[in-house]
Amino acid sequence: MIKWKDVEDVDILPGVSLTMEGTVVKVKGKLGESEMDFRNNYVKLTHKESKIVVSESKSNKKTNAIVGTWASEIRNMMKGVSDGFEYHMKIDYTHFPTRVSVKGDSVLIENFLGERSARLASIVGNTKVSVKGDRIVITGIHKRHVGETAANIERATKIKGFDLRIFQDGVYLLKGEN
């Protein structure tokens, strides 16, 4: 018989409904719904009244890390469906005016450093990207998807082979969620 120790409690936010089907947690709120599969042999989730309890069967560094990560993921899911996540990025250029636009499920970066071919950055999941002047706003209900999209855009404008202290062109993160 495995003895499970309750390690961390996550309170369910008001206005958010949370259901569990096996190892899948589904969260619904005013901005939409999100689901994630939490599967592990040594860590489990249980739904008790107005909270989710994260328990572990053995305590070591690995399971403690999983417990903290799962609790954070559930909090982010609830915050995402109730408030959403928003990242702001800035387009920087010195000589060649960089044009950024959204085409389908990718961000098109044209005339970067005077290059003839466009650079592409993929948009992850149901994330929305809007470009206004030299600012890019990335919004969505999944924190991981919004962060990955911002990282893809920043990575697409990475400059190789030049002194980064002089050539500071690119798209950089101004403000993101913590």
- Give the model confidence (pLDDT) of 36-73 as tens digits: 999 988 898 998 888 999 989 888 899 889 999 999 99
Q: What is the CATH number of domain 85-175?
A: 3.90.930.12
Q: How many CB atoms lie within 10 A of CB 141?
A: 24
CATH domain 5-82 topology: Outer Surface Protein A; domain 3 (3.90.930)
Q: What is the mean pLDDT of the chain?
A: 91
pLDDT digits (tens, 9 = 90+) for 93-113: 888 899 999 999 999 999 998
145 or 6: which leads in pLDDT: 145
Domains 5-82 and 85-175 share a fold: yes
Domains in the chain: boundaries: 5-82, 85-175
Alpha-carbon distance of 83 to 128, in angstroms, equals 15
| pLDDT of 28 over the 70 cut | yes
- To which residue do tokens 């008790």 refer? 48
CA 153 to mean position of chain CA atoms: 13
Termini Cα distance of the chain:
40
Alpha-carbon distance of 136 to 120, in angstroms, equals 15
> Three-state SS for 5?
strand
